[in-house]
Chain A
Amino acid sequence: MKNIIKTITITVIFSISLFSQNVFERNCLVCHEHFPASLQRMFMSYLKVYSGEITMKAALKGYLKKPDKKLSVMSDLFIDRFGIKDKTDLNDEELEEAIDIYWNLYNVRNKLR
């Protein structure tokens, strides 16, 4: 009986914590947390190449839907070590939402002083 209660409690806590996360945290942060290159550094690499918000978001969306070594902004060394990510299984709406969250989290604007 004690074991059943414990299992239910753990399941409920896990479910609550899982559903309290947003689409970016659920689908991106989970894996990227384990990479040596942080999401901030990756963001800066994208920014250095694509500059503007619309341009960068479009490039990121295109890459995530169809990952390609030629399109990656990461170094060859990084790609050789970790490879190219799998094609995203998020739909357009979820993907755009995740990218918007990513942009708002790491965006340079309003953070310079």
Chain B
Amino acid sequence: MLVSKNRDISLLLNSEKQSLRRFLTLYIFLVLALISLLSISYYKSQEKLMFSNQRTILSGYATEQVKRLKILHHYFPTKDEYPRDSRFKSAIYDIERVLIFSTLDNNHINLDKVIYRAGNKIHFIKYLDDYYLGAMYLIIEIDEDRSWYKDTILHILALGTIILIILAIFGLFFVRLFLKPMKNSIELLDNFIKDTTHELNTPLSAILANIEMMDQSVMSEKNIKKLARINIAAKTVSHLYQDLTYLVLGHQRISKDEWIDLKELILDRVDYFYILSNSKKISFELDLKEKKILIDPIKIARMIDNLISNAIKYNKRKGTIKIVLREEYLLISDTGIGITSDKINSVFDRYSRFTSSVGGFGIGLNIVKSIVDEYNLKITLNSILGEGTTFKIEFPKESLK
């Protein structure tokens, strides 16, 4: 399961974007279907109107032609010239639908209709009461006046566009209306985190400072263990606090890029997480080559911290975390629970968690993704359920040193 995640992280969550996309697709489909139906109906009515207008004229031509056929019938064979008229063409068919004579340009005849379009011609069928010259059907043909067609298409396009624009404005209004509760929830959560973060700062600093200041040489073995546990808990909270601070204030901060020795940084962070990983008997396997990268030190630390913290959080007891650093990439693998394929696409979304049994807000990987995007890095994720997950960060060529 390999997923490339290089899209921008915006304030909207994936689910929100998906809802928006689905709603708009359905809405546009329905609007287009409605406009198509209205267009077809309008086109048909205009066609009917045109036929109705033409029918009056054609009926007059047919009556004139019948009179001429009657005269020819009477004088045949002395006179044998079929009557012609500059205004129309005509043809006669007998009761068995066999052609008697035709001057038509378009010979696609439908004797079951009264009036119809044949190519760019209009055919009108007149049924004779007396079969002069044996003719039961008289077909009158004229050129179709296409001006009605052009007018109709223009009307459809103009009205269709106006209706589409109006309905699109309504659609956008409805979408905003529907998504407002979702946006409100996200805003509420953001505000809550912002307030909580602010309140966490002072007590957390006090706890960490005091742990550092405690003299372990005078403590009993039991108390040293207890202090270690307090240290783990405080560091976990500290990590969470840093993530939240980054999330709330990080985007407002101007990046101060400098050359960072990534190997040194990773060793430092592994050391920082040692007590935490040791609590789950997780061991590190490090295969680090020298690598320097031009990046903001706070941001790269957040990125590494979150990937290691994630690998610890979702790892099995007595598991392993393997970190490989090369000139082109960084790999962080765990031997944890893995991620199901349906969740892979949303792991980088804010408030997205692999499982509810493990604590956290689901913001770590969202922060990683935002940093990756900012520095044009590429993150890929390979996960096998029950076996573990590997995150691979590829460095752009220009940062290779």
Contacts and interface: CB of A to CB of B under 8 A. Distances in A.
B80 interface: yes
A40 B77 contact: yes
B231 to A, nearest CB: 110
Interface string A98-111: 00000000001101
B76 A108 contact: yes
A113 B82 contact: yes
Nearest to A111: B80
Interface in A78-105: none
A83 B82 CA distance: 35
A73 B278 CA distance: 119
Given A47-B133, A48-B132, A112-B133, A55 B96 contact: yes
Given A40-B77, A113-B81, A53 B130 contact: no
Q: Provide the main secondary structure of the chain B interface.
A: loop
Nearest to A106: B77
A51 B135 contact: yes
B101 interface: yes
B95 to A, nearest CB: 4
B190 to A, nearest CB: 88
A50 B131 CA distance: 7
Interface in A20-53: 40, 44, 47-53
Contacts of A112: 80-82, 100-101, 133
Contact of B95 (A44, A52, A109, A113): A52
A48 B136 CA distance: 9
Contacts of A51: 94-96, 131, 134-136
Contact of A49 (B98, B131, B135): B131
B292 interface: no
Interface in B70-85: 73, 76-77, 80-82
Q: Which of A40, A56, A109, A112 has the most CB of B within 10 A?
A: A112
Interface size class of B (residues with CB under 8 A): 10 to 19
B130 A113 contact: no
A54 interface: yes
A59 to B, nearest CB: 11
B76 A52 contact: no
Interface in B247-285: none
B80 A52 contact: no
A44 B96 CA distance: 17
Contacts of A54: 96
Closest 3 pairs (CB-CB, A-B): A52-B96, A51-B95, A51-B131
Given A48-B131, A113-B81, 15 more contacts: A44-B76, A47-B134, A48-B73, A48-B130, A49-B131, A51-B131, A52-B96, A52-B134, A108-B76, A108-B100, A109-B98, A109-B134, A111-B77, A113-B80, A113-B82
